[in-house]
Amino acid sequence: MPQEDREPGALPEEGGAYALVLMLERAVAMRVGALGRMRFPPGWYCYVGSARGGLRARLQRHLRTEGKRLHWHVDHLRQHARPVGALVWRGADADECRLSEAVARAAESSVPGFGASDCRCESHLHYFPRDPTRGLAPPTSGRAPAHAGRRRVPAAQGPARRRTYPFCGGCPPGARWVELGAADRRGKDGP
C-alpha cells in the first residue's frame, strides 16, 4: 500500500515520474512559451512530468517561483498557482505518459499541448474544478490518520491493495502522495 508523507524532505532523491497538484485561486491569462497566450480558470491543476535526474530536485524547483528561468510550461503557471502536493512514482518503470493518461481519465478537462511537446500525449496538464486531493490530508481531529503507523506489507504477505487517488483514475502501484508543508503551500516567494 502506498504511503503518504507530509514533509517535502520525504521526496525521494531517485528518478521517476510525478503529478504535481497546483491550486489557482482566480482566473489568469498568460503567455505560455510557444503555446502562446492561454486563459486558465480558477481551480486545481495536475501537472505530470518526469524527473530522471531526481524527483526531489525537480519538485523543489517547481516549488520556487523566483530566481529561476521559465523553462517548462508549468513554470509559467506556477507563477500564479500554489503547490498543494505531489504524487510521486519512483523507478525506471515510472512513465510520465502513462501517469498522465491516468490523471486525464479523472480530470474534467486537459489543456491541449501543455507539457507534452516531447511526446505524443494530448496534454500533461489536467484541470479539476473542485479539490481533487480532498480526503488525502490527515484529519485535524487530533487522531492519527488512518495510514499512520502502518507498515508496508509485501504483496506475498497480504492482500494486494492499490491506493486510489481521486485525481488519478488507475494510478500505478508504488505511487505515493506527498503533502507539501504549510510554508511550501503558501510559497515563501510566490502566491
> pLDDT per residue over 1-11, tens digit each?
233 444 445 67
Identify whether the C-beta of residue 23 lies closer than 8 Å to the C-beta of residue 46.
no
% residues pLDDT > 70 (the chain): 70
- Averaged pLDDT score across all residues of the chain: 76
Cα(97)–Cα(135) distance, integer angstroms: 26
Residue type for position 70: L
* 121-139 mean pLDDT: 80
- Domain segments of the chain as ranges: 4-136+175-186
Is the pLDDT assigned to residue 170 strictly greater than 80? no
Q: What pLDDT sits at residue 92? A: 86
Confidence of residue 136 (pLDDT cuts 50, 70, 90): low
The structure's pTM equals 0.76
Cα(110)–Cα(104) distance, integer angstroms: 7
Is the pLDDT assigned to residue 184 strictly greater than 50? no
DSSP string of 3-25, one letter each residue: -EE--GGGS-SS-EEEEEEEEE-
Identify whether the C-beta of residue 21 lies closer than 8 Å to the C-beta of residue 86.
yes
Residue with cell 491541449: 112
Among positive and negative, which fits the CA dihedral 36, 125, 76, 39? positive
Per residue in 21-51, pLDDT tens?
999 999 999 999 889 999 999 999 999 999 9
